[in-house]
Amino acid sequence: MNKKVCSFPILFALLALLIGTCAVVFPASAQAAPTSTGSITVSGTVASSYDAYQIFSANVVDGDSDAKIAADLAWASDAVRDAALPVLHSAGMPNSQTTAQEAAEWLNTDSHLTSALSAQLARSLQSSGAKFVALNAGTTAGLPCGYWLIVSDDDAISQNEAGTAPIMVLVGGSAVTVKPKAATPKVAKHVLEDSTAAWGKAADATVADDLYWRLSATVPAGLSAYDTYAVQFVDTMSAGLDPSKVAASMRVYVAAGADGGFDAVSAGKDGRAGTEPAKGWTDITAQCTTKVAADGTFTVRTGDLIAALGGADAFTAGARVVAVYSAPLNSACNHGIAKGNPNEVYLRYPRSPFADQSGDAGFTRTPSDDACAYTWDLALTKRSSDGDKPLAGAVLSIADDRGRTLAADGTWDAEGKATVTTGEDGRVTVSGVDSGKLEVRELKAPKGYTAFEGTRSVTVKAEGLDVDQVAAAKPKLTITAESPLRADSADGSTGSLEASLINTPTGTPPSITTGGFMPSTGDMAMYAAAAAAVAGAALIVVALLVKRGGGSHKE
């Protein structure tokens, strides 16, 4: 009796993509007598156990060039046949074809055995109650010869892994080892630095101002086994961040392809992120759900990304998801770089193509990623040019780079009309301020002193925020000032900056202040030189007068 020999090169080409090895089958004479059982080992870290469903029984022997030859194919059981045939017929196999040999040959023709089809077969087998054999990862097991569909056990998939499309493998002859490869999403977090309009791992900001954060997820290409695919961002904010604006400001966008960046919206130097999606991005906020807990933790869950991208063909190329929201620094935030105000996120994604995505049980998660916000404190002390003593009663207008002025309660007046008055210690404190330039005007000097004219600036500069990882951020904080303002000190660890505003007593000769600008501390040599120059000029004038007087007297 002639035995049919089955060749599956296309089928095993798919196997090569999934497990990194290929055992192509060619019609050839057997090199050894067929055996009734073969051995298989599933290696790797994707899952700790797998379910193996036999599709076809067969006599299997080793052929040339590591190929395997299968003959006498039959359905493994009636239950398997009844579960598999409707799937195959729906995928295009002629309804007249029902035998195992016909099914195997159709699967091998024109690459019919895709990842999507193997997943459909597995779903049908699982729902039919067909029997399976449990395989432990890393442990060699003996199985009856034939074609087996290897499906990762959802409950045994490791964190930060994902069950791949089921793997079709031919067992028999020499031992078989398969190594499933996980294709898992990645997540990242960034914060918007207003001075550069750039997203980075760190930024500084003024307390209570809108502060924009960006969550980004990359879904890898090749996930064709999924019918639906949703992801969920899980965000944990530190106590120094205000969650009250999260839900109202949240916008979510998706773009096809795993490459291309995450510039879903524009970002301006006004510190705000836009809402209009950039070219290639789609706003899917309406299909997403944002839930904010009392402790500031919140979740953003997308709808079906496959549907959002227009179908499985687009999704197969991968996807990028971006969520943008505002979470300002609050009054309880950390000041300085010692602690900062971190914001952390991880991503939940479907455990496998067979996971129930209606709740949380069907999801696993990525490692966390974070970004951090900083803020600083500036103390401005009014001082006398005579001994540097503090002066109370100076009325000042201190404006930030948005045109707002500081009010007595520490808030910022958007109309620019608020003023502050120095206390007995001569100090005015600007608490929780962004780096940048502050403009100072003296509206009223203390009694007995002369106010300076015009506006002078004090500039706070934070360097070292443009890093790839928050842990690498070691900002350098500096302060500079225009005379009669004086930069005194900067402590990056605590975020404390000190500056002084020097007033001259009423009646002080203008020349001594060199046009109204007192020299900064440390420039006393320049001050002395200026005084000497004035004294020298006075002596010359006196000498001229004496000479003129003497000449007149002689006449």
Q: Region 43-61: what's the mean pLDDT?
A: 95
Mean pLDDT of 188-194: 96
Whether omega before 484 lies within 30 degrees of 0, making that bond cis, reads yes
Of the candidates 351, 39, 331, 316, the residue with the CA atom closest to the CA atom of residue 173: 39
In the chain, % helix, strand, coil (3-state, to 5) comes to: 20, 35, 45
SS3 426: coil
Structure-model confidence comparison of residues 529 and 292, the more confident one? 292
How many CA within 13 A on the CB side of residue 436?
24
Residue 509 clears pLDDT 70, i.e. is over it: no
**Contact status, residue 166 vs residue 150, Cβ threshold 8 Å:** yes
Mean residue pLDDT of the chain comes to 86
**Tokens describing residue 515:** 């046009």
CA distance 320 to 333: 32
pLDDT of 358 above 60: yes
Query: pLDDT at residue 116 above 60?
Result: yes
pLDDT at 535: 35
Tens-digit pLDDT profile for residues 450-488: 999 999 999 999 998 888 888 877 889 999 999 999 999
Q: What is the per-residue pLDDT for 6?
A: 52
d(CA 125, CA 513): 91
- Look up tokens 């914060």; give the residue: 191
The reported pTM is 0.83
Residue 458 to residue 487: CA distance in whole angstroms: 8
Asked whether residue 110 carries a pLDDT value surpassing 90, the answer given is no
Can you give the pLDDT at residue 552?
Answer: 34
Write out the two tokens for 546: 């004496």
Q: What is the rounded CA–CA span in Å between residue 522 and residue 519?
A: 8
Residue-level pLDDT at 175: 95
Task: Give the per-residue pLDDT at 527.
Answer: 32
Question: Which pLDDT score is estimated for 3?
Answer: 47
Residue 294 predicted with pLDDT over 50: yes
Q: Which residue has the higher pLDDT, 528 or 265?
A: 265
Distances from the Cα of 384 to the Cαs of 82, 128, 396, in angstroms? Answer: 96, 90, 15
Question: Do residues 101 and 134 touch, judged by C-beta distance below 8 A?
Answer: no
Tell the residue number behind the tokens 């000497």, with chain if given: 532
Who contacts 11 (Cβ-Cβ below 8 Å, separation ≥6)?
107, 108, 113, 168
* H helix or E strand, kind and range, residue 427: strand 427-433
- pLDDT class for 289, splitting at 50, 70, 90? very high
Q: Which pLDDT belongs to residue 270?
A: 85
Residues 395-441 have pLDDT tens digits of 999 999 999 999 999 999 999 999 999 999 999 999 999 999 999 99
Q: Report the pLDDT value the prediction gives residue 510, as an integer from 0 to 100.
A: 52
**What does the radius of gyration of the chain's CA atoms come to, in whole angstroms?**
37
